[in-house]
Amino acid sequence: MAAIPALNPLKIRTNYTNGETIEGFKKGDIDHEQPLSPMSRLFHEPGSNVYIVGIIGLKTKIQPDIFKHNLVHTFLKNHRFSSLQVTNKQNGSMKWIPTHVNIDDHVFVAQIDPNMESSDKFVEDFISNLSRSPIESTKPLWDLHILDLKTSEAEGTCVFRFHHSLGDGVSLMNLLLSCTRKASDPKALPTLPGSIKKSGAADVSSFWSRFGVLWNSFVALVMFVSTILFLEDTKTPMKGSKGVEHRPRRFVIKNVSLDDIKLVKTAMNVTINDVVVGVTQAGFYRYLHRRYCEGDTENTNIPDNIRLRSTLFFNLRATTKIEDVTDTSRHGTWGNKIGYALHPFKIGPRKDPLDYVRDAKAVMDRKKASLEPLFTYFFANLVLKLFGMKVAGKLNHKVFYNTTLWFSNVPGPQEEISFFGHEVAYIAPSCYGQPNALMIHVVSYVDKLTFVISADEETIPNPHELCHDLEESLRIIKASVCSSGIMSKY
């Protein structure tokens, strides 16, 4: 394959004042600059300076030149990936300024230690080290790290890193998946289950359903305001301390059987999301029980009535269909269009393990029958307009810090896919920079479901044990389904 020609990189100051000439651009070029949206600007505020990490395991050896060639024709056609974010010193505003991109400044091939003890540990340490430093603002805020190293799950690993101001997880996941094709049909885009959804919609066909939506929304509003003002989660071994957003993270991946999740879903007549949340709730209790008992399995000091909540994110777009997203103006695909709800986890023992799933379904049904995600989205925008970026950033940080974790669950491709001609073994998105010690992101791919844990090791020094607790909780819940006899009804 012919070598990729190097593009001239642009050296540009990251601050400018009105009337200044930007190095490397003609005067007319500056007319094409665009301001960052308020939500994108918010992700540069202290406590909200978040990065999205996309880990992709591949089944074949990685060819870096093929990745570079294809990135030029995909990512770089999107102006967010070929523009700098430049700050105006006078008023603090930020604008997208187009720049000349040298692809070699964004794609890095990791140096492999030939004497490593474990390839899995090497990859894990490498990704953790990425969370120790930001991407320099002298170039577009994304990069790709290629680890051409065989692990227990893949023949090679790609790690994409994006600043959250480029877009939310749905935007960036769609961008990545638009670069993939079905392994069975190299010309076809992959498909996602439930490609059309009604964001924030609830069944309001009767008076009582309308009343239920209004009541659930009112309760959510009270809890949201209380969380801003004073309501903080219980100090548990999973709750981060102040400054946790500045500490490095450990990223751990655990794959489980999607068929096991579907078996429980069908038997209990619930959703996949209900099962995932129920398994997570059971896993949290197992983990906290072990941390509190400190080796004494007979006596535990785990507190009663633990308040442990997650910030549960919702996509507010009307569709999740994968399409060409190089054009950032199409269909509202781009931006940070996500709302969130505060989801409580009930931490405690259950005589029947299936009660974890039943409890999760009851809470999720209330969240679906409310306008909480829409409210939080519009509230953030309202505060931005009325009080400015600093106030919005502080309130955002207060809500996140007063809860215990971030939680996100999204469906992935239903069939095997290839990324720039490389067959994909797994997909594992996550984040770092948030003011919580823990994030759990759950994504499905073909016949597996992947739990991706992003943990502050100072708070959670053993994230692998938490992974084991999630896996064991699924095993126990599945076994309870199989032994209960409810499967015979279906």
Residues near 398 by beta carbon (within 8 Å), at least 6 away in sequence: 227, 228
Alpha-helical (H) ranges within 13-83 are: 38-42, 64-73
DSSP string covering 409-454? EE---SS-EEETTEEEEEEEEEEESSSSSEEEEEEEETTEEEEEEE
- Give Cα 37 distance to the centre of its chain: 20
**Long-range contacts, 90-93 (Cβ 8 Å, 24+):** 90/17, 90/18, 92/389, 93/35, 93/36, 93/41
Residue 367 CA to residue 347 CA, distance in Å, equals 19
Planar angle of CA 152, 163, 38, nearest 5 degrees:
150
Token digits for 107? 């794609």
* Element of type H or E holding 301: none
Distance CA 340, CA 345 (A): 15
Distance CA 40, CA 64 (A): 30
C-alpha 179/C-alpha 413 separation (Å) is: 13
CA–CA dist 336, 380 (Å, integer): 12
Residue positions counted in the chain: 490
Strands 405-410 and 422-432: unpaired
The dihedral built from the CA positions of residue 370, 376, 381 and 385, taken in this order, carries a sign that is: positive
Give Cα separations from 266 to 10, 76, 163, 484 (angstroms): 56, 44, 38, 14
Q: What is d(CA 333, CA 340) in angstroms, rounded to the nearest whole number?
A: 18
Active site residues: 164
Residue 159, Cβ density class (10 Å: 0-12 exposed, 13-18 middle, ≥19 buried): buried
357, 477 in Cβ contact below 8 A?
Answer: yes
